Amino acid sequence: MPGASLLVLYASQTGNAQDVAERIGREAQRRYYAVRVLPADAYLPRVAQLPGEPALVFVASTTGQGDQPSNMRQLWKFLLRKSLPPGSLGGIRAAVFGLGDSGYPKYNVVSKKLYRRLEALGAAMLLPLGLGDDQHRSGYEAALDPWLELLWPALRACFPLPPGASEPALGDTSAELEAAAAAAAADAAAGASRDGATTAGSAAHWEALAAARQFDVQQQQHGGGQQQQQQQQPASSRAAAGPATTDGPRGGGGGGGYGPYRPYWSRLASNRRITAPTHFQDVRLLEFDLGCSGISYQPGDVLALVPQQPAAAVDALLARCGWDPQAWVLRQCVREEAEAERLAHFSSPEGRDELYEYNQREGRTVLEVLGDFKSAQPPLEWLLQAAPRLQPRLFSIASSLAAHPARAQLAVAIVEWATPFRRRRRGGEVLVPVWAERGALRLPPTPATPLIMVGPGTGVAPFRAFLQERAAAAAAAAAASAGEAPFPAPSMLFFGCRSQAGDFYFREEWEAMQAAGVLAPPPAGLLTAFSRDGPRKVYVQQRIREHAAEVWRLLQQQPHGAWVYVAGSADKMPAQVAQAFEEVAAQQGGMAPADAAALLRRMELSGRYQVEAWS
C-alpha cells in the first residue's frame, strides 16, 4: 500500500541519535510511510532533491563542546551556505529532535541551530523542537515519547492515510506488523536501494542488518574499489561487529582507506599496566601494530576500536549487546501472562521510568533480558532490528608516528565492571578492528609556539603524542643541520591524578621531556595535582591559578603566544579549567571578567584554545 515519503536523517556521534532515527523509521513504516533512514552526510550527494522531499525528520545530537557530530558536518556546511535563498525549503515539512546533556554549557546547541536554519530556509516546522536530555532520570526517552505523540498526528494531518488503511495500534499482532512493514517496504524498496538507506522494518532491512554484521559483506557493498583486506578475520569477531546502516556514527579518514566499513585488523602488540598494582584503577598502555596498513595519524588524532564479542557470547544470541527500549517488540512474542503484563507496563507512558531503570541504567544485555522474560521467543529478524549495534570506542592516540613508526599507543582506563581487553588476551594473538580518525586537537603550525596542556587522567594521552612529535622533530632537525636546528618552545603540562604512587603514569617520560627542553624546566614545565595525597583535594585548575604569572607570560609571548589544550573527562573539568584561565587573564592582564571571558572565546574561535573531552 503506497504511503507518503518520509526522510529521516540523523547526526550521531555515539549511536543514540541513530537509535532514535531507526526507531522513528520503524514506527513510521508501521504507519504506512515510505521511509528512508540515513546519516545526514550520506544525503549530501542528493541534497539537490531536498526541496522536493515532502517530509523530513532530523535527529541530531550535540558532541564535543557544542559541536556537530562528524556525520553531519558536510550537510551542515551546505545548509549554512549564504547562497541558499530564504524560501528554498518552502515545500518541505520538517521536524527536529535533539539529543544532548544539560550538564554541558552548550546544551543541545546543534539541534537548536538546525531547527532555526531549517525554519529560516522556509521549511514548515511541524512541531516545536524536541530536546532529549541525558540528565533526565529517564534519559532522552523522557522527551522523545511525548514529542513522537505530537509528531504522528502532525504528519498525518499533512499526509492522510491511504484509502482503506487504518492507523495501526501499539498492540498490533506480529502478522499485522509484518504486513504493514511489507506494504511500506514494497513502496520504499526501489528508492531505498537507490539511496543506500535502510528501510526500517522491512524484510530487506532485516537482511541488511544481518549482513551488516559481517565486514566482508560490507566491504563488497561499500569498499568495492578499495584495496583488498588481506588478513584473516576471526569468525566470532566478524559475526559480532559492524555497522548496520550506510555509515557509522563517525567516519574514518586516517589514511589507508580504513573506516567503519573496512577496519584494519590490527594486532595488539603489547598491553602494559601503567598504574600501580595496588591502585584502584587499571590503566593500560596498549600498543597496536599498524603493520603495512598505510594508516597514518597526526598528534591529536584518535583511534577507533570496535569492541568484540567472545564466540560463546555471539552464539548466545548476540549476548552483551544493548536492548532497544521498545518493549512492545518483545511483547508480541511473550507467552506467559505475567511477563506480558510486565512488558505492557514497560511500554506504557507510566512504565517509562521503570523501563529506563531496568534497561539503560542497568546496562542489561539482550541475553539478560531474554533470561528475565523466559517465555519470549522473538524471531531473529526482530532481534537484529531492535538490538543496537556495538558502537566503536574512540581513544586519543598517545604516541607519535615519528617516535613509534607503524604503531599507535593508547592509554586506556579499564572500567571495573568490564574487562574486554583482558578477556581478549586469552586467545593468544589478539586482532582488533581499528581505524584512525581526525581528533579535535591540532598542534600549532610552528614549534616556536609554546603549548599549555591540561590533561588529567587519560586526558594526558594526546599530549604524550604532541611531546613525542616535537621531540622527534627536534632531534631529526638537529641531526640534519648539525646542531643548528630551531628548538621547540618549552611548554607546560598540567597533569592530575589521585596519587603520586598510584597513577602518576609516564612520569619518567615527562621528566625526560623536561631534561630535553621540550617541556619547560622545573618548577614550571610539569605541574601535577594529586587529588588524594594531601589533606585537601587539589585539581589541575588550582595549579593553573597558582602558576598564573607563568601561564600569562606564555600566552602573551611574542611573536608566538602559547596555544592552550584541554583533554579528558567531559564532566565538570573543561568548564572549571576554562574558568581558571579566565581568572588568570583577569588577574594578570588586569581585565574585567567579561573581557577575560571574551578573550577565551576569541582564542577558542581562532583555534588557540582547543578541547577534546569524553565521558
Site residues, ligand FMN (CB under 6 A):
12-17, 61-66, 69, 99-101, 104, 106-108, 134, 140, 570, 613-615
Among ligand FAD, ligand FMN, none, partner that 16 touches (CB below 5 to 8 angstroms by kind): ligand FMN
CA triple 119-123-126, angle to 5 deg: 90
Q: How far apart are CA 446 and CA 425, in angstroms?
A: 41
Using CB under 6 A as the criterion, what x/- string covers residues 554-593 for binding ligand FAD? Answer: ----------------------------------------
Closer to ligand FMN by Cβ: residue 392 or 525: 392
Cell triple for 243 = 555497522
Q: How far apart are CA 426 and CA 443, in angstroms?
A: 38
89 and 123 in contact (C-beta within 8 Å)?
A: yes
Q: How far apart are CA 284 and CA 392, in angstroms?
A: 18
Shortest Cβ 481–ligand FMN spacing (Å): 42
Closer to ligand FAD by Cβ: residue 252 or 307: 307
The binder of ligand FAD chosen from 7, 20, 394, 471 (CB under 6 A): 394
Shortest Cβ 81–ligand FMN spacing (Å): 24
Q: How far apart are CA 75 and CA 505, in angstroms?
A: 41
366 and 327 in contact (C-beta within 8 Å)?
A: no
501 lies in the binding site for ligand FAD (CB under 6 A): no
228 and 267 in contact (C-beta within 8 Å)?
A: no
Consecutive H or E run containing 410: strand 407-414
Shortest Cβ 392–ligand FMN spacing (Å): 12
Closer to ligand FAD by Cβ: residue 306 or 520: 306
Among ligand FAD, ligand FMN, none, partner that 101 touches (CB below 5 to 8 angstroms by kind): ligand FMN
Among ligand FMN, ligand FAD, none, partner that 66 touches (CB below 5 to 8 angstroms by kind): ligand FMN
Q: How far is CA 409 from CA 81, 334, 535, 601, in A?
A: 40, 47, 35, 32
397 and 297 in contact (C-beta within 8 Å)?
A: yes
30-67 per-residue burial string, b: 16 or more CB within 10 A, e: under 16: bbbbbbbbbbbbbbeeeeeebbebbbbbbbbbbbbbbe
Q: How far is CA 295 from CA 126, 298, 299, 469, in A?
A: 45, 11, 13, 17
Shortest Cβ 64–ligand FMN spacing (Å): 5
SS (H, E, C) 422-446: HHHHCCCCCEEEEEEECCCCCCCCC
Contacts by 419-425 with C-beta closer than 8 Å and gap 24+?
420/307, 420/308, 421/268, 421/271, 421/284, 421/286, 423/310, 424/268, 424/308, 424/310, 425/268, 425/271
User: Contacts with ligand FAD in 345-384 (CB under 6 A)?
Assistant: 363
Judged by CB under 6 A, the stretch of 102-110, 308-316, 392-400, 542-550 that binds ligand FAD is: 392-400
Shortest Cβ 16–ligand FMN spacing (Å): 3
Among ligand FMN, ligand FAD, none, partner that 80 touches (CB below 5 to 8 angstroms by kind): none
The binder of ligand FAD chosen from 415, 448, 476, 515 (CB under 6 A): 415
Closer to ligand FMN by Cβ: residue 401 or 611: 611
Neighbours of 538 (CB within 10 A): 16
Cell triple for 378 = 522473538
Among ligand FAD, ligand FMN, none, partner that 100 touches (CB below 5 to 8 angstroms by kind): ligand FMN
Among ligand FAD, ligand FMN, none, partner that 64 touches (CB below 5 to 8 angstroms by kind): ligand FMN
Among ligand FMN, ligand FAD, none, partner that 461 touches (CB below 5 to 8 angstroms by kind): ligand FAD
Q: Determine the size of the site formed for ligand FAD (CB under 6 A).
A: 18
Closer to ligand FMN by Cβ: residue 59 or 540: 59
Among ligand FAD, ligand FMN, none, partner that 520 touches (CB below 5 to 8 angstroms by kind): none
Using CB under 6 A as the criterion, what x/- string covers residues 440-479 for binding ligand FAD? Answer: ------------------x--x------------------
C-alpha closest to that of 304 among 179, 142, 437, 136: 437
